[in-house]
Amino acid sequence: MKDSIIFLSDTHFSYHTDDEKESKKRALFLDFLNHIEGVGNLYLLGDIFDFWFEYRSFVPKYYHEILDGLHHLVKSGSRVSIMGGNHDYWLGSYISETLGMKLLPQLVTHDLQGRRITMTHGDMLLPGDYAYKALKAVIRNPLVISIARIVHPDILYGFARNFSRASKGVTHKKTKRVAEKVLEIAKERFFEWDNDTFMMGHVHLPMMENFGEKTFVMLGDWEEHFSYCLLEGGNLSLEYYGPDVPTLSESR
């Protein structure tokens, strides 16, 4: 396991810790972390948290067991890297300095097991979607972030909770259509970095397609599919984790 590399995204851990579905999702993820203890690398490609905003003197309390589980994985010798998504872009020093995870930029290319893999969360790749892109430019503006730090955490997280519910409702309805549109442009647009592999999250539908010697991977999610991508010996496979069958492979 120490030479294996795992990629996943979109677990969307929520603030509703007393919710039954959330509790089951967390328990399954913590079981997964125990299952992969000692793995060489774990890449978390965004939206691990349904909302994360790190104040200088306040760390979100809603995710303590998830953070403990990831920190334990780091202490086991695994390298854990994480990038922000559209829900948790505002990751900070607590993640890197206290928990020992490596913060990744929004687009990064790494050479891994003979592959050159470009990774991103993917929320800026969708065709059109101009309203969201405009909103994103605003909420990531340094001035807006500074103002948000003045707002009490309960108020900010309450607003984010309501926004997230509305956003998920829209996204769920068009997931398959969006995935098909992204796949249409993947070959022409996602291999511009001398990469042979492109990996993204955001669209909650696991998918892997080969274009000759190039591979496009959509990681899916940990809300319905509990999917992730496994790299072993230079070979990629989509996997699905569950209490009864821990690894079902879909290799192409």
pLDDT of 245? 46
Residue extents of the structural domains in the chain = 5-250
- Neighbouring CB atoms inside 10 A of 191's CB total 18
Give me the residue label for tokens 């969006």: 178
What pLDDT, in 10s, does the model give residues 119-133? 999 987 776 555 555
Which residues lie below 8 Å from residue 122, measured CB to CB, with a gap of 6+?
A: 45, 46, 182, 200, 201, 202, 203, 218
Instruction: Tell me what the mean pLDDT of segment 92-117 comes to.
Output: 94
pTM equals: 0.83
pLDDT of 125? 79
Please count the CA atoms within 13 angstroms of the CA of 84 that sit on its side-chain side: 17
Please count the CA atoms within 13 angstroms of the CA of 102 that sit on its side-chain side: 10
Per the prediction, the chain carries an average pLDDT of 82
Which run of H or of E encompasses 156?
helix 153-189
Residue 229, strand partner residues: 7, 238
What pLDDT, in 10s, does the model give residues 181-202? 899 999 999 999 999 999 999 9
Measured CA distances, 190 to 89, 122, 147, 175 (Å): 22, 11, 35, 19
Any idea which fold 5-250 has?
A: Purple Acid Phosphatase; chain A, domain 2 (3.60.21)
